Amino acid sequence: MDHREFHGDEVFETEAAGAKAGLNPMFGGWSQRFDFAPVPHRGTGGPVRQAFKETIRAELTNKFVFWGEVQVVIILYLDVQTVLETSETADVDNYAKAILDALKGPEGIIIDDTQVQALTISWIDSHKTYFEVEVRGSVDDFFTKPLRFFEMPDGLFYPQPTHAWDPVGPKPYTDFDHFAGLMITEMMAGSKRHIRHVLRQAGQTRLEASRNSTYFETQLRGFHRSRLADTGYELVAIADWRARRTAWADQDQEKSKLLAELAEGHRASMNNLAAALAAVDKASRKPSDRKGG
């Protein structure tokens, strides 16, 4: 048997088994059918919308959440006569808001609806009223639930799971895994902030500096506090988790020393890189383009 074919079949079977158990999306895709009528966001009372949200969440079986950008497809199955000849239904975009609100947060499939890069919603004539939702993201842009969010030097909050994905079920992170993950995110978020500052000082606009610093950002998406405040997620301030890291370092000095050495090497490299970028930028600009020119 060809090893590559066997490996491909093995990967597919692992992915399919995990998706069936709700542990992961199927190669970045997730979908579910909801056998009850959709509720519009406008034109209904708060208790009705809340009950609709709770009903959707009670039906969700996913044990993971997408943290990156996603595409969402919603199909409503409605009776055409009711749609065209009564006032009992709403515009399709009105349904989208109510459904997305139910799909975000600790119990949902996404963290926040700012992740939705593309949204398609349509309706199909049907004798039975129900709806289907499909969410598609990058293959690896998901985390096992539950998530906590940690503040980083750039002022954003970054998600970190308490468990790692595994084909047979979530495995808890060790303290070393936890703080190593936070350190990596801290280094990248801090580097992004530092490089932006250096480039701004060199004469770049806010937008130029932001775009040119993307090469040095972590792939992990950060969220503004306002997007997480009312979701129910645990938000950990930077001072709090750094204090916990210090306490852990006192207990495990060997591993914490390794992380400190890695952080120092990264910091020195980023400082040198930022200085080189600023020098190149200054050299490429006309005198009239520079600040004060």
Confidence (pLDDT) at 5: 47
What ranges do the domains of the chain cover?
Answer: 3-140, 146-289
Give CA separation, 163 vs 9, 59, 135, 173, 178, in Å. Answer: 26, 23, 22, 5, 10
What is the mean pLDDT of each successive set of 10 residues along the chain, which is 293 residues long? 54 89 94 94 82 96 96 95 77 89 95 96 94 96 96 95 88 92 88 80 83 76 92 95 93 84 73 72 62 45
| 3-140 topology per CATH | 60s Ribosomal Protein L30; Chain: A; (3.30.1330)
Q: Report pTM.
A: 0.83
